Structure 1
Amino acid sequence: MIPSALRFATLTAALSAAAAVHAAEPAPAAAGPDLGCHVGAYRLDDGRSLTLGRIDEPSALRWRLLDGRTGKLARKDGALVATVGWSDRADTVKVELGRCGEGVVFDGHRGEPVELDVVDTTFEGAGVKLRGRLVLPAGQDKVPVVVMVHGSENYSGVDLYYQQYLFPSEGVGVFVYDKRGTGGSSGKYTQNFHELSDDAVAALREALRVGGERVGRVGYLGGSQGGWIAPLAASKAPQAQFVEVGFGLADGVLAEDRDQVVLDLRAAGFGDAATLRKARELTDATGLIASSSGQRGWTELATVRKKYETQPWWKAVKGEYSGLVATHTRDEVMAEFKKYDYEVSWDYDPMPVLRTLKTPQLWVLGGDDIEAPSGETQKRLTALGRAGRPITSVVFPQADHGILEYESKNAQGERQHTRTADGYLRMLLDWIKRGTLDGWPYGTAKQLAGPK
């Protein structure tokens, strides 16, 4: 998964193992040497694009199709075993891997490697040296290029972003880079949106330099936390011709925890207006604590705790961090703050940029997103679109964070994500290529605002 827009799980996991946040794609490590050489794009004999990419387990890969179907492949007792999506359920898909470079067989269809033009590079970000890669369809034709803007993950985009294989096999170039403090890039990992957006501006500039005459339309794709960074970068980069945001927020950072708490309470049967007003007092206090690195908010929290701690709804609060901050001591929370200093842009308000940015934007939201609840964002984007801003907004009603579909919960109460929603990847490609959505229907997607 692309991790949640605010990765506060470092604190929550340390305070309570039971509160570990599920990620659709955990922070990955390299695939084992027996499978790693198969990473790349393949053209199946029925015309479909297939990609094989690295994930977090040695000797394991993830396969993906353009329609969003995906699964894990892992060696077990000498055999290659497939599981559905991000679940542990066995899949009927059969994948055969031959020698490196000799193609694959996917569910009975022969797949040949897709030739791609790949250029690795290093470039200067905002005071850091960044590692990047431009991947283009083979040949000399001019093609659109998208610059991938990171979410909150702390792993290498160059090594692990699957779009660098899937998109070029569909005629779209991709520039990936390791955000500062990750992979092969220098500097300190941060969640400072201003610094990260400056790095994204440098990345787009580098994509244009490396791609030269082959670069046609160029713009950004940011998921999750990248939904704050990509529009901000476009506001600084006049060369950007489009912005795509997947499962991001048109609201501030604190809104993620606040809206998660509302979902928690409604799911537990405490969705009445009076209880939600009380819970807002709690999230205001915990938000003050989080955004000040524990320097403020404790008096406010003590007041709220005294008023409501014995009420039934209190124990149902989880959120991104509110439940844990509210149920642990100040010393416990402060001990964790001392370990992590990510310079989160707590005070960033995306609306001034969204109200003024002239670059056309496509926002794609999950209607059932429990990591970055999209209700308020849907309202804001709809209003902006109706007010004439160049924003097209779309929602997949049953999709979770990452625009992922799910079917059940496991024994730990976590959703079992089974695939990316059908139509999502095709929608992103259409917008990159033409700046329009002319391929309706896109699965179950519903347009909120903007021209079709």
Structure 2
Amino acid sequence: MSQLRPSALILTAFSLTASLLASSALAQVPGDDVNLRPDPAVACHVGLYRLADGGWVDVAPLPEAGLRWRRLDGSSGRMTQSAEGLWVSTLGGTRRVEGPQPQLGACGEDRIVFEGRAGRRISQQVQDVVFTGHGGTRLTGRLILPPGSGRAPIMVEVHGSEGANALDFNVFQRFAPASGVGVFVYAKRGSGGSEGRYTQDFDILADDAAAAVTEARRLAGRRAGQVGLHGGSQAGWVTPLAASRTPVDFVIVDYGLAYSPLTQESDLVAQGLKAKGWGPDVLAQARDITDAMGAFVASNSAVGYEGLDAVRARYGAAPWFADVKGGFTGMLLNATNDQIRAILPQYDVGTSWTYDPLPVLSGLNTPMLWILAGEDTKAPPEATRQRLIDLSAQGRPITVMQYPGTDHGLTRFETAPDGARTSLGNPPGYFQAVLDWAKTGRLTGGYGDGQVLACARMQRAGCSRGR
């Protein structure tokens, strides 16, 4: 294989990274978003607005121009300001001017008009803090409690794999306290004023989350009721691990996985091939590829490049080879080894590739609610769903809920002719299910089209935390 000059190698790495960012094979370099910040031109409007009828609408920042409004029923829209000063709302993640068209007052006026109802921004009980996480790293956090002086449940919000500062972008920190549930939110290490370096090492992140639980209880003092962990995606690995290290009263996981990241990658490749119409024989051969790629990334390339070369040589001419994608497999297959050497350091964030959560889930007595996205294209739910249902049937305190027709992030979506999905917002009932579980430990009544697949301790009168 020809060797590139250092300058050419750097340019090649930049070129390859740029092409990957533009493709669906890989969303971004891990941690590349740690410096994202809200649009300062409109940050003055961020807050929770109480409407005249007693309902609310949350106005959240976006890392680019504009804002996002959101309601308890999961509806949302992106807001941008026209040249005439009017706010224009586009449905969900689409570009269609559709649905409510909220109008905000000038900065400092703290007012909104939403579907003809006037509203005012409400103040919240906020305490900012710096606390110590894994290895003495100083992390920035915030406790927001419901109004009043009584005890309240508290959700400690745990990041997914994103690096962006949760103090800016966490979606529960305003409307959960307004609904009677306190929130402790903290900036992941390396973002938002927190020290350290962005990482996907689950042991480190679990220690940080456990430290956040301790700090939340300390800050809340006598007001602390049931304190638990809540998070989505990567937090599905981190929150149960943290719960095994510090006492918590509950765990809520949204669109997470109950198997290893390497298994996730294998399932992602298989999911993509199935979508292209390939059958079991191709899936079996593709498993050879994901095994080789998994061994390579899990060892941080210590196993060498021979396995990559072998599967390229064996399957490179196969008609399905170009349809192999996944999170990183397609990237490695289609890059030269020199290119991989150049870009690999950007992707080395200590990911716990081989971590299997089953021992923790099997031994954890903390009541858990898992909410799965039925058509998740980033965290294929099939194996997780079955594993959780089996654990619940074996007596583990696990309740499993699923929303059909939702993708990662528990978002409803529309599908373009090329298969691309665009978010339409969250499903009705999802936010309420999270809040009810944090407040009462039960799922009662209906939560939109959410389907309860397993109840902790098989309780038929409503799924509970088992207390």
Do they fold alike, i.e. is TM over 0.5?
yes
1:449 matched to 2:458? The reply is: no
The question of whether the paired residues in 2 share the 8 Å contact of 1:29 and 1:55 is answered with no
1:236 counterpart SS class: coil
Kindly tell me the number of residue pairs found equivalent between the two proteins: 436
Offset from partner CA, 1:158-197 (integer Å, 9 cap, x none)? 1221211010111110000001111110011111100111
1:343 matched to 2:350? The reply is: yes
Q: Which residue number corresponds to residue 389 of structure 2?
A: 382
Offset from partner CA, 1:7-53 (integer Å, 9 cap, x none)? xxx99854533236569xx9584444442112111122222221111
The aligned amino acid for 2:125 is: D
The aligned amino acid for 1:365 is: L
The question of whether the paired residues in 2 share the 8 Å contact of 1:12 and 1:321 is answered with no
The question of whether the paired residues in 1 share the 8 Å contact of 2:236 and 2:254 is answered with yes
1:186 counterpart SS class: coil
Is the deviation greater in 389-398 or in 47-56?
47-56
Computing the radius of gyration over CA atoms, which structure comes out larger, 1 or 2?
2
Q: Which residue number corresponds to residue 314 of structure 2?
A: 307
Offset from partner CA, 1:241-294 (integer Å, 9 cap, x none)? 000000000000112211111111111110x21111001111111111221222
The question of whether the paired residues in 1 share the 8 Å contact of 2:236 and 2:257 is answered with yes
Q: Distance in 2 between matches of 1:340 and 1:287?
A: 14
Which consecutive aligned stretches of 4+ in structure 1 deviate over 6 angstroms post-superposition? none
The question of whether the paired residues in 1 share the 8 Å contact of 2:147 and 2:178 is answered with no
Change (3 A) 1:134 1:443: same
- Out of 214, 227, 246, which is 1:205 matched to? 214
Q: Distance in 1 between matches of 2:187 and 2:260?
A: 25
Q: Distance in 2 between matches of 1:11 and 1:171?
A: 49
Q: Distance in 2 between matches of 1:189 and 1:251?
A: 23
The aligned amino acid for 1:136 is: L
The aligned amino acid for 1:106 is: F
1:279 counterpart SS class: helix
Q: Which residue number corresponds to residue 402 of structure 2?
A: 395
The aligned amino acid for 1:421 is: P
Per the TM alignment, residue 297 of structure 1 is displaced from its structure 2 partner at its CA by 5.4
Q: Distance in 2 between matches of 1:349 and 1:20?
A: 24
Q: Which residue number corresponds to residue 6 of structure 2?
A: none
- Out of 115, 125, 128, which is 2:123 matched to? 115
Offset from partner CA, 1:301-349 (integer Å, 9 cap, x none)? 3222222221111111111011111111111112111234311111211
1:285 counterpart SS class: helix
Within a 5 Å distance, the mapping from 1:193-232 to structure 2 comes to 193-232=202-241
Offset from partner CA, 1:383-407 (integer Å, 9 cap, x none)? 0000000000111121100110001
Within a 5 Å distance, the mapping from 1:313-352 to structure 2 comes to 313-352=320-359
Q: Distance in 2 between matches of 1:128 and 1:410?
A: 47
Q: Which residue number corresponds to residue 7 of structure 1?
A: none
Q: Which residue number corresponds to residue 170 of structure 1?
A: 179
Q: Which residue number corresponds to residue 74 of structure 1?
A: 80
Q: Which residue number corresponds to residue 4 of structure 2?
A: none
Q: Distance in 2 between matches of 1:151 and 1:285?
A: 26
Is the deviation greater in 387-396 or in 100-109?
100-109
Q: Distance in 2 between matches of 1:157 and 1:98?
A: 26
Q: Distance in 2 between matches of 1:225 and 1:74?
A: 31
Q: Distance in 2 between matches of 1:29 and 1:55?
A: 9
The question of whether the paired residues in 2 share the 8 Å contact of 1:148 and 1:220 is answered with yes
Q: Which residue number corresponds to residue 3 of structure 1?
A: none
The question of whether the paired residues in 2 share the 8 Å contact of 1:366 and 1:402 is answered with yes
Within a 5 Å distance, the mapping from 1:137-286 to structure 2 comes to 137-238=146-247, 240-270=248-278, 272-286=279-293
The question of whether the paired residues in 2 share the 8 Å contact of 1:11 and 1:337 is answered with no
The question of whether the paired residues in 1 share the 8 Å contact of 2:144 and 2:177 is answered with yes
The aligned amino acid for 1:198 is: D
The aligned amino acid for 1:434 is: T
Q: Distance in 1 between matches of 2:167 and 2:92?
A: 22
Q: Distance in 1 between matches of 2:219 and 2:302?
A: 46
Per the TM alignment, residue 201 of structure 1 is displaced from its structure 2 partner at its CA by 0.8
- Out of 400, 404, 414, which is 2:411 matched to? 404
Per the TM alignment, residue 109 of structure 1 is displaced from its structure 2 partner at its CA by 1.3
1:338 counterpart SS class: helix
The question of whether the paired residues in 1 share the 8 Å contact of 2:289 and 2:311 is answered with yes
Q: Distance in 1 between matches of 2:304 and 2:414?
A: 39
Change (3 A) 1:13 1:249: farther
The question of whether the paired residues in 1 share the 8 Å contact of 2:39 and 2:62 is answered with no
| TM-score under structure 1 length normalisation | 0.92
- Out of 49, 56, 79, which is 1:42 matched to? 49
Per the TM alignment, residue 76 of structure 1 is displaced from its structure 2 partner at its CA by 2.8
Q: Distance in 2 between matches of 1:11 and 1:227?
A: 33
Q: Which residue number corresponds to residue 125 of structure 1?
A: 133
The question of whether the paired residues in 2 share the 8 Å contact of 1:410 and 1:416 is answered with no
Q: Distance in 1 between matches of 2:116 and 2:42?
A: 19
Change (3 A) 1:340 1:321: closer
Change (3 A) 1:104 1:20: farther
Q: Distance in 1 between matches of 2:39 and 2:320?
A: 47
Offset from partner CA, 1:111-131 (integer Å, 9 cap, x none)? 122231001111111120000
Segments of structure 2 that go 5 or more residues without pairing to the other structure are 1-13
> Percent of pairs identical after alignment?
42
Segments of structure 1 that go 5 or more residues without pairing to the other structure are 1-9
Offset from partner CA, 1:56-90 (integer Å, 9 cap, x none)? 113x1111000100111112323311111112222
The question of whether the paired residues in 2 share the 8 Å contact of 1:14 and 1:336 is answered with no
Per the TM alignment, residue 410 of structure 1 is displaced from its structure 2 partner at its CA by 7.4
> Could you say what the CA RMSD is over the residues aligned between the two structures, in angstroms?
1.9
Change (3 A) 1:309 1:20: closer
1:424 matched to 2:430? The reply is: yes
Change (3 A) 1:88 1:12: farther
Q: Distance in 1 between matches of 2:417 and 2:62?
A: 21
The question of whether the paired residues in 1 share the 8 Å contact of 2:132 and 2:139 is answered with yes
